[in-house]
Amino acid sequence: MKVQRLLTLALSLSLFGATGAVASSMWGDYEGFSKARVMINNEEKSFSDSDTPAFLIKGSAVLPVRVLSETLHALVKWDSSTNTVNIQKPNVHMFVAKKVDNDYSIKQPFGGVKKGDRLDFAVFAQVDSLKTPINSFKISIVSPSGEQVAVHEKVVGGQRESFWYPWPFNVTFSEAGNYVVKFSIKQDEGGDYTVVSEKVILSE
């Protein structure tokens, strides 16, 4: 896979005239073009020296596709034979529940826990508008410090435009802060997972 080539592809977003171009020059230059500052949910997006940053051409901002896909929680695939970037944005909705019957009817959905609690619960994921074949998906739970404390992976191996999937977890919420439930999709067997949906469980 030509991952590095994919990550440096860019989309052009319109800016408003010369004002944006003048203001952006304070962030430095990239190969003769003025860099643009990127804010995502009020947080500045940083770029390493090996990354292609956001920059300006003729009053328009050029943004790496990787940044756009991560922000939108979208799937991106590069077709080198046609020089085409394919962006897919499936609808993925998740919720968690403490009490679930054998038929997976939901009794006690929740979004917060006490620090130190150890809970049995289920994560429910509803997926639709998935218009590309996928290899697999996974549901993972990441602690506030960034540790993956639980994960479940399911191989699909084909086209499934819509499905509903529940899975039980047992987790100790030993830290205070946001535990993030992530739903990720792998498009090809040898590829990487892309997060397409997130839900937060607050531990306090």
Which pLDDT does position 6 carry in this prediction? 38
Give residue 149's region: left, alpha or beta (phi > 0; psi -120 to 50).
alpha
Which pLDDT does position 159 carry in this prediction? 83
CA distance 46 to 61: 16
User: Is it the case that residue 12 has pLDDT exceeding 50?
Assistant: no
- Using DSSP's 3-state secondary structure scheme, residue 6 falls into helix
Q: Which residues contact 58 (CB under 8 A, 6 or more apart)?
A: none
Higher pLDDT, 17 or 41: 41
User: Is it the case that residue 5 has pLDDT exceeding 90?
Assistant: no
Q: How many percent of the chain have pLDDT more than 70?
A: 86
Nearest by Cα to 9 from 79, 90, 71: 79
- What's the average model confidence in pLDDT over 46-56? 85
Tell me the per-residue pLDDT of 93-114, one tens digit each, with 9 for 90 and over: 999 998 777 776 777 889 999 9
Q: With 0.75 as the threshold, say if the pTM is over it.
A: yes
Query: Other C-beta atoms within 10 Å of 95: how many?
Result: 15
Q: Give the Å distances, CA to CA, from 127 to 93, 97, 137, 201.
A: 7, 18, 11, 20
Nearest by Cα to 66 from 5, 135, 138, 127: 5
Residue spans of the domains in the chain: they are 3-88, 91-203
If pLDDT is split at 50, 70 and 90, which confidence band does 40 have? confident
- What's the average model confidence in pLDDT over 49-67? 85
Architecture of domain 91-203: Sandwich (2.60)
Relative to beta strand 193-203, strand 112-113 is parallel
Which pLDDT does position 25 carry in this prediction? 60
